[in-house]
Chains A and B, each alone.
Chain A
Amino acid sequence: MQLIFETSRPGRRGVRLDPLDVPEATLPAEFCREDAPNLPEVGELDVVRHFTRLSARNFGVDSHFYPLGSCTMKYNPKLADAISALPGLAGLHPHLSSSPVYHGCIQGALEIVYETEHLLAEIAGMREVSLQPIAGAHGELTGALLIAAYHRAKGNKKDTIIIPDSAHGTNPASATIAGFKVVQAPSGADGTIRLDAFKNVMNDSVAGVMLTCPNTHGLFEPDVHKIADLAHEADALLYYDGANLNAIIGQSRPGDLGFDVMHFNLHKTFATPHGMGGPGSGPVGVGERLAPFLPGPRVTRTEVGFGLEMPPQSIGKIAAFFGNFLVAARAYAYLLCQGDEGLKNVARYAVLNANYILARLKDAYDPAYDTTCMHECVFTATRQAKAGVRAIDIAKALLDRGFHAPTIYFPLTVKESIMIEPTETESKQTLDAFCDAMRAIAQAAQDDPESLHAAPQTTPVGRLDEVRAARELDCGCL
C-alpha cells in the first residue's frame, strides 16, 4: 500500500478555498515559516480511498477474536457508543460544573455521576466511589495517595507497600510515584501468594498491600482473608487492583473479601473499548476508613437536587472536572442494560470460556498450573521450545490464522508463557475455531517447526525485527 505522500501530485486539491474577500492581515515575520509545509497534494477521492484502505487493515475486536490476557479486550455493545454520543452528554460544557449558578443545567449529568458511583460501590462492596481517575494506573496512584492520607491523618510512620510478583505490572510504579518503597512478595509453585513468604515481609512499616485478584496467573488468591487479617493487624490497608474484576463481578465483592480500597477499569469491564491510549476511566472505591479522603468535589444529593461538595479531608482534585465523564456514561448505560443477572453472567461466561480453552488445549500445550482457572488461562510453551518453536512463533502463527495473538512472555514468572483471556463475549464457535488453530500450530511445531519461524505471511507486514527496533530506536519522526 502506498503512503499518502506517494500519491501526491503537485497542484492536486480536494478543497478549493473561496477567493479572499477581507483585507489580508500580515503576521510578524518571526511567526511566518520560510517554506510551505510538506503536505500531500491529493484529491478528495484519494483521501477517501487511502483512509478506507487503511481502516480495512485495522485489526480489532469488531473484526477479530482478541484474546490478549490480562487486558480484557472484550466486545463492547454499540448501545454504549450511542449513549455517550447523545448531544445532551457529548455537548455539555465542563465548566457548567464550576459554579452552583449553573448546576440547574447539569442535574442529569450529576445524576449519572452519582448513580454510577453508587452502582459501582454496590458491585464492589465499597462504601463510596470516585469517578475522577482517568485510567487504571491513575486509579492505583489515587488509591496509594489515599492510603498515604489515611496514615498521615493518624500520625502513622509507614513507608512500604507490599506487592506480590503476580500483581499487575503498574502497581509498583504507582506505589513508587506516591512515595512508597515497594517490597515484593513471591508466589509459590501453585501460582498464588505464599503465606509464609508474605508473613516474612509484613511488619509495622507496611502502609498497604496491593493485590490483583484473580492474579495475573488467572488464579483466585485462596488466602485473601488471611492476608487481609495480617495487614489489618498492622494497620496496613489492602488494595484491590480491579483490572480482573470481569472474573468475579456479581459473584464476590472486594469489600467483603477485606479490601479497603480498589480501582475499577471502566474501559475493561464496563463497556468502553480498551487500548491505544484511551480515553479510559479508573474510578476508585473505598471502605469506611478511606472515605473521608476521596478526591473532590463529590456529587451530593439533597432535597433540591444534585450539588457538589469538597469534603474537608479530601486529597483534592486528581483530574479535571469528573474524569472522563463520557466513559462513565457508557458504564452507566451498560450497568442498567445488564442488570443484576446480566452482570452475574459476565463473570460466569468469562470463567467458563477460559476453562473451556484450558480444557481443549491442555494436551497440546502444558498449562502453567495444574488447576482450573478464573477468566484467563496460562500455558507454557517449553515443550514446543525444545523443538525450536517459541511462544513468539506461536503468537505470530496465530496472526496467519486470523486471530490476534494472546499475551506472551507475561506473566514473567512463567517461562515461554502464553496467556489467553477469551472474555464472556465470545461464542463457542469462535472459541472452537481458536482452539483448532492453536492445536494445528502445536502439530506444526512437531512436524515442520521451520514453517512457524516464517510466520506471519498473510499480514500486511511480516515478522518485525523487534530487537533492532529496540536497539536502534529512531524517534526522528516525532
Chain B
Amino acid sequence: MLHTNPPHLKYTKEHEWVRDDGGGVFAVGITEFAAEQLGDITFVELPPVDAQVSQGAEVATVESVKAANDIYAPIGGVITAVNGELEEHPEIVNQSPYENGWFFKLEEVDAAELDELMDATHYEAFLKDQ
C-alpha cells in the first residue's frame, strides 16, 4: 500500500513521526502506516503537560478495536502541549495522522537524538520490509 510520508518529518522504527515546528518546539504523532495497522482508533491516552521524558519512554497509549499500543517518545524532552482534541475524537488520528492527529509537543530536546531518526526515504525503505 502506498503511503505519503511527508519529506520534512523524521521517523522511528516504532512508526512515530517528529516535526520541527520552529522555536525549539517539536510535534510528535504516529504515521499513516501505524494508524492503518491499528485500524479504527477508539481511545488515546495522553501524557501530562510538563512531564520530563527520555528517548524511548512510554508516553502515551493508543487503543483500537484490535489492540492497545504504547507510543514512545522518539526523542527526550519536556512535554509542553498535548492534543486534547484526540481524547474526544480519537478518529482524527486515522483521518489526519500528520496534521490534526498530532499527539504532543516537546521542547528542550537533544538535537543529537533527533539525528538518530530516519528521514522519509529511509522510513519508506524500512516499511517495505514490514
Contacts and interface: CB of A to CB of B under 8 A. Distances in A.
Interface of A: 409-410, 412, 415, 466-467, 470-471
Interface stretch (B6-14, B35-43, B74-82, B100-108): B35-43
17 contacts: A409-B66, A409-B67, A410-B67, A412-B67, A415-B37, A466-B65, A467-B40, A467-B42, A467-B65, A470-B42, A470-B43, A470-B63, A470-B65, A471-B42, A471-B43, A471-B90, A471-B91
A3 to B, nearest CB: 27
5 tightest A-B contacts by CB? A470-B42, A467-B40, A409-B66, A466-B65, A471-B42
B63 to A, nearest CB: 8
Interface of B: 37, 40, 42-43, 63, 65-67, 90-91
Contacts of B63: 470
B24 to A, nearest CB: 33
Nearest to A385: B1
A467 B91 CA distance: 10
A415 B90 CA distance: 22
Contacts of A466: 65
A245 to B, nearest CB: 26
Nearest to A471: B42
Nearest to A470: B42
A318 B66 CA distance: 33
B14 to A, nearest CB: 13
Nearest to B90: A471
Nearest to B1: A386
A453 B17 CA distance: 32
Contacts of A471: 42-43, 90-91
A415 B42 CA distance: 19
Question: Which of B40, B65, B90 has most A Cβ within 10 Å?
Answer: B65
A215 to B, nearest CB: 18
A409 B38 CA distance: 10
Contacts of B91: 471
Contacts of A470: 42-43, 63, 65
Contacts of A415: 37
A2 B114 CA distance: 61
Nearest to A467: B40
Question: Which of B37, B63, B66, B90 has most A Cβ within 10 Å?
Answer: B66
Contacts of B67: 409-410, 412
Nearest to A415: B37
A414 to B, nearest CB: 12
A412 B69 CA distance: 10
A466 B91 CA distance: 13
A410 B65 CA distance: 12
Contacts of A412: 67
A412 B38 CA distance: 10
Contacts of A467: 40, 42, 65
Contacts of B65: 466-467, 470
A415 B130 CA distance: 10
Nearest to B89: A471
Contacts of B43: 470-471
A409 B91 CA distance: 20
Contacts of B37: 415
Nearest to B68: A412
Contacts of B90: 471
B7 to A, nearest CB: 26
Contacts of A410: 67
Question: Which of A409, A466, A471 has most B Cβ within 10 Å?
Answer: A471
Given A410-B67, A470-B63, 15 more contacts: A409-B66, A409-B67, A412-B67, A415-B37, A466-B65, A467-B40, A467-B42, A467-B65, A470-B42, A470-B43, A470-B65, A471-B42, A471-B43, A471-B90, A471-B91
A69 to B, nearest CB: 15
A217 B94 CA distance: 29
A343 B90 CA distance: 49
B129 to A, nearest CB: 11
Nearest to A466: B65
B15 to A, nearest CB: 13
B62 to A, nearest CB: 12
A270 to B, nearest CB: 30
A202 B5 CA distance: 37
A281 B66 CA distance: 28
Question: Which of A409, A410, A470 has most B Cβ within 10 Å?
Answer: A470
Nearest to B88: A471
A273 to B, nearest CB: 27
Contacts of B42: 467, 470-471
A471 B65 CA distance: 9
A177 B67 CA distance: 21
A193 to B, nearest CB: 20
A30 to B, nearest CB: 40
Contacts of B40: 467
A415 B36 CA distance: 12
A412 B63 CA distance: 13
A221 to B, nearest CB: 23
A215 B37 CA distance: 23
Contacts of B66: 409
